Amino acid sequence: MPISDCKILDLPKITDPRGNLTFIEQNRHVPFEIKRIYYTYDVPGGSDRGAHAHKNLHQLIVAMSGSFDVVLDDGLETKRFHLNRSYFGLYVCPMMWRIIDNYSSGSVCLVLASELYDEADYIRDYEEFLSAVRASKEGGSPK
């Protein structure tokens, strides 16, 4: 899939003097059924997370607190997204190499995922990812 399929989604924001509220509904605000939710926190400064791709998994990444960057790579193009508002989510389609870096102090990264955890869905080697991208362009499918 091309990197242009990945984009920032505006999530509903209900403003109230007592505090704001944002909600996310599957197949309405995200283009997939939500089967898993996880979050990262207490990431040391200068560290990065991710550095992998998924063969079939769709994700929505939200900066619940603080900020961080998500670097996406489709094998041909690389794009950096800065997330710093809890009412924006980055939709990440399958077969997208991703690295999350530039974490601010106290940031929390929430990820909504379309599938349950499956180690077989991960591609953790960048060269293997590039080979899978080339194979899919030649009519094959990711291994």
3-51 confidence digits (pLDDT tens): 999 999 999 999 999 999 999 998 889 999 999 999 999 998 778 888 9
- What is the model's pLDDT at position 141? 57
105: tokens are 């102090």
What contacts 89, CB < 8 A, 6 or more positions away?
A: 8, 9, 11, 24, 29, 30, 60, 61, 62, 112
How many Å from the N-terminal Cα to the C-terminal Cα in the chain? 15
The partner residues of 14 in beta bridges, in order of sequence, read: 21
119 belongs to a structural domain: yes
34 and 28 in contact (C-beta within 8 Å)? no
Does 142 reside within a domain?
no
| Active site residue ranges | 52
How many domains in the chain? 1
Question: Does residue 26 lie in a domain region?
Answer: yes
> Considering the domain boundaries, does residue 143 fall inside one?
no
Q: Residue 102 sits in a domain of what CATH number?
A: 2.60.120.10
Q: What confidence tens digit (pLDDT) does each residue in 51-84 have? A: 999 999 999 999 999 999 999 999 999 999 999 9
**Residue-number span of the structural domain to which 113 is assigned:** 3-137
By residue count, the chain amounts to 143
Task: Please check whether residue 120 lies inside any domain of the structure.
Answer: yes
Query: Can you read off the two tokens belonging to residue 94?
Result: 């399958």
Closest CA to 67 of 125, 108, 12, 19: 108
Alpha-carbon gap, residue 2 to 64, rounded angstroms: 27
CA distances (Å), origin 12, targets 40, 73, 81, 90 = 23, 28, 20, 14
pTM here is 0.91
